A and B are shown apart, each in its own frame.
Chain A
Amino acid sequence: MPKLEQHRVVPKLAIHSPRTSHPPKRQVASVLDDAESSLVDVIDNLLAKGVMLNADLILALANVDLIYVRLSALLCAADRVIPPFPKERNPRRG
């Protein structure tokens, strides 16, 4: 008597890594959460127009304060102080 081979239907095993089980981020969010761009943004938003420096300078002789200078200076590239576009054109109007 021929041997009957038994076949069992094995259910498909879906293997997911834990990472892929999270719902995918929306595309807009993935653009905005770019960590690399955050450094560039911080530099551009806060430092591109320069920084204010404040200092107190006291010139003294033999422990006697003679001259007091209070410094408040703007440190930045010259091209960033002068507004590049004095009168902006509205791009809607072409």
Chain B
Amino acid sequence: MPWYVFALVDAPPAKRPPRGLSGPLGLRRVGDAFAVVERRKDVPPAEFATLQRHQEVVTRLGTLVPAILPVRFGTLLETDALEEALAERDEDLDAAFAAVRHRVQFSWRRYQPRSRDRRAASDAPGDLSGTEYLRRAARAARPAPPAAWRTIRAKLRPLVVQERYQPADARLPDSMYHLVERDASRRYQTLAAALRHANPVLTMSGPWPPFAFAAELL
């Protein structure tokens, strides 16, 4: 029976890990890392309750280990496939763990009217010169946070190790992710709560495992 993989961790959990989706969690050693797995014959359904449980398991695990790399939902692998996927990738794993070790993620959302988005989307590629099309594609690949995020970024910058911005799309609102040292998360939350209440179009959640900063190794 294959393994359902929740996350890769750099050390065994300090305490007993939580239960998985329907059974106990196990650890599979893969090189210098460990895969946190559960025996399952099939991929769990992508229903809200299952997704929420998956997220809870990974979030709880994140508090029990120095570094965690959440794995994409639905990753079901046989033992040999799991080992093969991570074979000779010790350097990649080390770098990925180092980037998130003892760090947590906070997620900000900015809810805004969609009219401006629709106007931008209506510019068909056929109406643009090739140069302009490539310029826009390059900007879209590395979007810069708009000015509306300036205050949040400036106030929280001393506590932020790494930042990612994701513009709004059909699935999600404008989002900003901050990677913060675990030790600094209380200070971050206190500051963030004040900023959040000063700006009602913003929401903030966390601390999370570094979902937005974890390298995809599986």
Partner-B contacts on A (CB < 8 A): 27-28, 31-32, 34, 36-54, 74, 77, 79, 81-85, 88, 90-92
Contacts and interface: CB of A to CB of B under 8 A. Distances in A.
Interface residues of B, number: 48
Given A38-B52, A51-B43, 6 more contacts: A31-B205, A32-B204, A44-B211, A45-B70, A82-B141, A83-B215
A49 B72 contact: yes
Contact of A32 (B141, B173, B205): B205
Given A27-B193, A44-B172, A49-B216, A91 B70 contact: no
Interface of B: 42-43, 46, 48, 51-52, 54-55, 70, 72-76, 107, 109, 140-143, 153, 157-158, 160-164, 166, 171-173, 175, 189-190, 192-193, 196-197, 203-206, 208, 211-212, 215-216
A46 B55 contact: yes
A84 B204 CA distance: 22
A52 B70 contact: no
B217 to A, nearest CB: 12
Contacts of B42: 54
A24 B196 CA distance: 18
B85 to A, nearest CB: 11
A54 B70 CA distance: 19
Contacts of A88: 162-164
A43 B44 CA distance: 15
Given A38-B52, A40-B173, A91-B162, A45 B211 contact: yes
Nearest to B105: A45
Contacts of B215: 83
Contacts of B161: 90, 92
A42 B51 contact: yes
B65 to A, nearest CB: 17
Nearest to A81: B216
A85 B163 CA distance: 10
A50 B72 CA distance: 7
Given A49-B72, A84-B142, A31 B43 contact: no
Between B158, B160, B171, B197, the greatest number of chain A beta carbons within 10 A of the residue's beta carbon is seen for B171
A43 B50 CA distance: 12
A37 B192 contact: no
A48 B216 CA distance: 13
A37 B73 contact: no
19 contacts: A27-B193, A27-B197, A31-B189, A31-B193, A38-B52, A38-B205, A40-B173, A43-B172, A45-B55, A45-B211, A46-B51, A46-B54, A51-B43, A52-B76, A54-B76, A74-B72, A79-B141, A81-B216, A84-B142
